[in-house]
């Protein structure tokens, strides 16, 4: 069924592999290929994580009886020792190429802040723009926020990311996983019609979105207390004053994986 695969053909199986769409013989061949191919593991891993986004969106509460059964079984089920050699599923092999993970000190996304680009600049520019235009008595409050912002920017693991849709609506983020905080600035969001506002949400794999506050113009917003399970940020349009939970679909959403969150 599988026939003979040239290397290039094998390589093109990365996407079906990530979707678990290979038949067993091809699956085996591809995993063999993975061991010899330097660029493949990183690519497969990226594709797999895309697939996991599809999975995550199907989450549904498990039946209570299932919990009882599983927790009961666990009390009497022995565990396997750590593997002597890697199992093909779900880890194909020890990773040699740079990983996308936040844990590795060699991860390509661990970019020093000095070399991060537009997003950081945008946040800083917005911050000082705001500072300059405020009256004296507002400055104390602004300074407190500025300290928080500086605290995030100065973190050794501060990283930036930005996302923008086709209409130019987006957000820019500088975040530090170690400080559990992010500085978020809206760009091109405009002002919603009527009395409505832009509200920023933290998306997590379990649990409801958490409001991080209202985004007004390009004033930076400091989001604190972010767990490493922070998956993404989303902006929705809500009635004046904001909502306890989002009531509309997001106008902008930005994943936090590249800035050290997402699990």
47: contact with other proteins by CB under 8 A: yes
CB 138 to other proteins: min, Å: 33
59: contact with other proteins by CB under 8 A: yes
76: contact with other proteins by CB under 8 A: no
Binding test (CB under 8 A) with other proteins, winner from 217, 239, 242, 250: 250
CB 143 to other proteins: min, Å: 32
> Which part of the chain contacts other proteins (CB under 8 A), choosing from 78-86, 122-130, 141-149, 211-219?
78-86
Site for other proteins in 164-223 (CB under 8 A): 201, 203, 205-206, 208-209
CB 126 to other proteins: min, Å: 20
Q: Give the DSSP letter string of the chain.
A: ------HHHHHTTHHHHHTT-S-HHHHHHHHHHHHH-SSHHHHHHHHHHHHHHHHHTT--PPPHHHHHHHHHHHHHPPPPPPPSS--SSS--S---SPP--SS-TT-TT---GGG--HHHHHHHHHHHHHHHHS-HHHHHHHHHHHHHHHHHHTSTT-EEEEEE-TTS-EEEEEEETTTTEEEEEEES----STT-EEEEEEE-SSS--EEEEEE-TT--EEE----TT--EEEEEEESTT--SS--S--SEEEE-GGGT---
Closer to other proteins by CB, 72 or 141: give it: 72
Binding test (CB under 8 A) with other proteins, winner from 227, 239, 242, 243: 227
CB 199 to other proteins: min, Å: 12
Closer to other proteins by CB, 32 or 67: give it: 67
CB 213 to other proteins: min, Å: 17
Closer to other proteins by CB, 92 or 155: give it: 92
């Amino acid at each position: 069924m599988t026939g003979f695969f040239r290397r290039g053909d094998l390589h093109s199986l990365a996407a079906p592999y990530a979707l678990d769409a290979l038949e067993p013989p091809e699956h085996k061949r591809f995993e063999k290929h993975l061991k010899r191919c330097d660029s493949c593991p990183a690519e497969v891993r990226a594709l797999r994580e895309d697939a996991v986004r599809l999975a995550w969106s199907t989450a549904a509460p498990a039946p209570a009886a299932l919990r009882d059964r599983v927790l009961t079984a666990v009390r009497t089920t022995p565990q396997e020792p750590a593997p002597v050699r890697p199992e093909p599923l779900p880890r194909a092999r020890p990773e040699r190429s740079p990983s996308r993970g936040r844990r590795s000190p060699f991860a390509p996304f661990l970019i020093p802040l000095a070399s991060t680009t537009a997003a950081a600049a945008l946040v800083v520019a917005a911050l000082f723009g705001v500072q300059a235009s405020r009256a004296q008595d507002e400055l104390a409050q602004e300074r407190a926020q500025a300290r928080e912002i500086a605290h995030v920017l100065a973190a050794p693991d501060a990283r930036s990311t930005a996302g923008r849709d086709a209409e130019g609506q987006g957000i820019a983020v500088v975040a530090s996983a170690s400080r559990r905080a992010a500085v978020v600035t809206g760009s091109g969001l405009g002002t919603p019609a009527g009395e409505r506002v832009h509200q920023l949400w933290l998306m997590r794999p379990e649990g409801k979105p958490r409001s991080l506050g209202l985004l007004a113009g390009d004033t930076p917003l400091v989001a604190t207390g972010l767990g490493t399970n922070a998956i993404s940020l989303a902006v929705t349009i809500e009635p004046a004053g904001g909502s306890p939970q989002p009531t509309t679909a997001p106008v902008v959403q930005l994943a936090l994986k590249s800035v050290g969150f997402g699990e």
